[in-house]
Structure 1
Amino acid sequence: MHSLLIVDDQIDLADDLAANVPWHKAGITGVYKAYSAQEALDMMQTEAIDVVITDIKMPGMSGLEFISKVRAVWRDVKLILLSGYSEFEYARTALAHQVSDYLLKPASDQELLEAVQRAVQELDEQWRSVASARRAQQTLKENLPILRQSLLLDLLNSRRFRPAELARKLELLRLPFTTERPVSLMLVRLEDHFDQYEHEDLSLLEYAFTNIADEIFSDEFHTWHAKEVHDYWVFLLQPIAGGASGAEEAEPPHPPAGSSSRAASDADEEPSSDSQLLPSSSSPLERKAAMLQHYVKQYLKGTISIILHETCRFPEEISERYDSLLIQFLQRIGSERELLINSTHAVERGTARHLAQLYEPPQLLHLLEAGQWQPLREKLEAVFTALDKDWADSHEHILEVYHTIVAAVSCTVHKKKQWLSELLPGEYERFVSGMGFHTIAQLRDWTFQVIDALEAHYASVRYDSRQDLILQIQAYVAENLADATLQSIADHVYLNPSYLSKIYKLETGEGISDYLFRLRMERAAHLLQSTNLKVYEVAERLGYQKTSYFIKLFKDRYQCTPQEFKERAGRP
Structure 2
Amino acid sequence: MLIASLKPETEKRLLQEQSFEKARRAELEEAVRLFRRHVENYLKGGISLVITEWFTFPDDVSAAYRAGLGAIGTTEGEGTVFLEDAAHDRRTARSLDALYKPPTLIHLLESKQWDAAGRKIAEVFDELEKSGDSREHLYEVYFSVSNAFMYVVHKQGHYMHQIDHAGLDLLADPGIVLSVGKLRAWAAGMLEKLRRELSASDKHARSYIVSKVQELVSRDLGGETSVKTIADRVYLHPVYLSKIYKAETGESLGDYIIRMRMERALYLLKHTNKKIYEITAELGYQNPQYFSKMFKNITALRPTSSGTRK
Range of TM-score over shorter length: 0.3 to 0.5
Which structure shows the bigger proportion of residues in strand conformation?
Answer: 1
Q: Which has more helix, going by share of residues?
A: 2
Point out the structure with max Rg over C-alpha: 1
Task: With the length of structure 1 as denominator, give the TM-score of the two structures.
Answer: 0.26
Larger RCO (CA under 8 A, 6+ residues apart)? 2
